[in-house]
Amino acid sequence: MFDRETIEEIRSRRSAWEADTIKGNLKKSPERRDVFITTSSVPVERLYTPLDVQDWDYLRDLGFPGEYPFTRGVQATMYRGKLWTMRMFAGFGTAEETNARFKYLLGHGETGLSVAFDMPTLYGYDTDDAEAEGEFGKCGVAVSSLADMETLFDGIPVDKITTSMTINGPAAIIWAMYIAAAEKRGVPRAKLGGTIQNDILKEYIAQKEYLFPPEPSMRLVVDTFEFGSRELPLWNTISISGYHIREAGATAVQELAFTLADGLAYVQAALDRGLGIDDFAPRLSFFFNAHNDFFEEIAKYRAARRIWARETKERFGARNPRSWWLRFHTQTAGCSLTAQQPENNVVRTAIQALAAVLGGTQSLHTNSMDEALALPSETAVRIALRTQQIIAHESGVTNTIDPLAGSYFLEALTNQTEREVYDYFEKIEKLGGVIKAIERGFFQRELAESASRYQREIEARERTIVGINDYVTEEPPSIPLLRMDPEGERKQRDRLARVRAERDNEAVARTLEAVRHAAQGQENLMPHFIDAVKAYATLGEICDVLREAFGLYREPAIW
Ligand X SMILES: Nc1nc2c(ncn2[C@@H]2O[C@H](COP(=O)(O)OP(=O)(O)OP(=O)(O)O)[C@@H](O)[C@H]2O)c(=O)[nH]1
Q: Which residues bind other proteins (CB under 8 A)?
A: 119-120, 122-123, 131-135, 138-139, 203, 207-209, 247-249, 335, 337-340, 372-375, 432, 440-441, 447-448, 451-452, 455, 458-459, 465, 467-469, 476-477, 481, 551, 554-557, 559
The partner in contact with residue 1, picked from other proteins, ligand X, none with C-beta cut-offs of 5 to 8 angstroms by kind, is none
- The residue (of 119 and 434) whose beta carbon lies closer to ligand X is 434
Residue in the shown chain whose Cβ atom is closest to ligand X: 556
Q: Least distance in Å: CB of 557 to ligand X?
A: 6
Separation between Cα atoms, residue 63 and residue 259, nearest integer Å: 24
Contact 273, 320 (CB under 8 A): no
Q: How far is the CB of 224 from other proteins (least distance, A)?
A: 21
- For ligand X, which is the closer residue by CB, 130 or 557? 557
122 binds, options other proteins, ligand X, none, Cβ within 5 to 8 A by partner type: other proteins
Q: Quick one: which of 362, 409, 404, 415 has its CA closest to 253?
A: 415
Neighbours of 268 (CB within 10 A): 15
248 binds, among other proteins, ligand X, none (CB under 5 to 8 A by kind): other proteins
- Contact by Cβ (8 Å): 156, 103: yes
- Centre a 10 Å sphere on the Cβ of residue 12 and count the other Cβ atoms it contains: 10
Asked if 439 touches ligand X (CB under 6 A), the answer is: yes
Measured from the CB atom, the residue of 445 and 491 that comes closer to ligand X is 445
Question: Measured from the CB of residue 330, what is the shortest distance to other proteins in angstroms?
Answer: 20
Indicate which of ligand X, other proteins, none lies near residue 392 (CB less than 5 to 8 Å, by partner kind): none
Kindly write down the DSSP assignment for every residue of 278-326, as one continuous string.
HHHGGGEEEEEEE-S-HHHHHHHHHHHHHHHHHIIIIIT---SHHHH--
What is the smallest separation between the CB atom of 439 and ligand X, expressed in angstroms?
Answer: 5
Distance of CA 467 to CAs 345, 382, 448, 471, Å?
10, 24, 24, 5
Residue 530, burial from CB neighbour count under 10 angstroms (0-12, 13-18, 19+): buried
CB under 5 to 8 A by kind: which of other proteins, ligand X, none does 338 bind?
other proteins
Closer of 61 and 247 to other proteins (Cβ): 247
Q: Choosing among ligand X, other proteins, none, which partner's interface includes residue 226 (Cβ < 5 to 8 Å by kind)?
A: none
Nearer to ligand X, 188 or 556 (CB): 556
Helix ranges (DSSP H) in 4-86: 4-17, 23-28
- Shortest Å, Cβ 92 to other proteins: 9
**Shortest gap between Cβ of 394 and other proteins (angstroms)?**
31
Question: If we measure between CA atoms, which residue out of 209, 197, 237, 228 comes closest to residue 124?
Answer: 209
Q: Which is nearer to other proteins, 386 or 445 (CB)?
A: 445
Choosing among ligand X, other proteins, none, which partner's interface includes residue 44 (Cβ < 5 to 8 Å by kind)? Answer: none
User: Residue 332 or 414: which CB sits closer to other proteins?
Assistant: 332
Least Å distance, CB 438 to ligand X, is: 9
Name the minimum Å distance from CB 289 to other proteins. 13
The answer to whether the CB of 141 falls within 8 A of the CB of 177 is: no
Q: Are 533 and 173 in contact (CB under 8 A)?
A: yes
**Reduced 3-state DSSP string for 491-515:** HHHHHHHHHHHHCCHHHHHHHHHHH
Residue 207, contacted partner among ligand X, other proteins, none, CB below 5-8 A by kind:
other proteins
DSSP-assigned letter for residue 426: H
Choose between 479 and 558: whose C-beta lies nearer to ligand X. 558
Q: How far apart are CA 197 and CA 141, in angstroms?
A: 16
The number of residues that bind ligand X (CB under 6 A) is 3
Sheet holding 235-236, edge to edge: 235-236, 194-196, 162-166, 112-116, 85-90, 363-365, 328-332, 284-290, 238-241
Rule CB under 6 A: say whether 449 interacts with ligand X.
no
Residue 431 interacting with ligand X (CB under 6 A): no
For the bound state, the minimum distance from the C-beta of residue 467 to other proteins, rounded and expressed in Å, comes to: 8
SS3 for 213?
Answer: coil
Closer residue to other proteins in complex, CB, 372/397: 372
| Residues 157 and 131 sit within 8 Å (Cβ to Cβ) | no
Binder of residue 503, out of other proteins, ligand X, none (CB less than 5 to 8 A by kind): none
Which of residues 301 and 553 has its CB atom nearest to ligand X in the complex? 553
List the x/- string, 517-556, binding to ligand X by CB under 6 A.
---------------------------------------x
Reported as type and span, the H/E element at residue 272 is helix 252-273
**For residues 480 and 556, which CB has a smaller minimum distance to ligand X in the complex?**
556
Which helix (H) or strand (E) element contains residue 259?
helix 252-273
Residues 540 and 547: their CA atoms lie apart, in Å, by 10
Contact (Cβ atoms closer than 8 angstroms) between residue 35 and residue 45? no
**Residue 91: CB minimum distance to other proteins, A:** 13
Give the binding site for ligand X (CB under 6 A). 439, 556-557
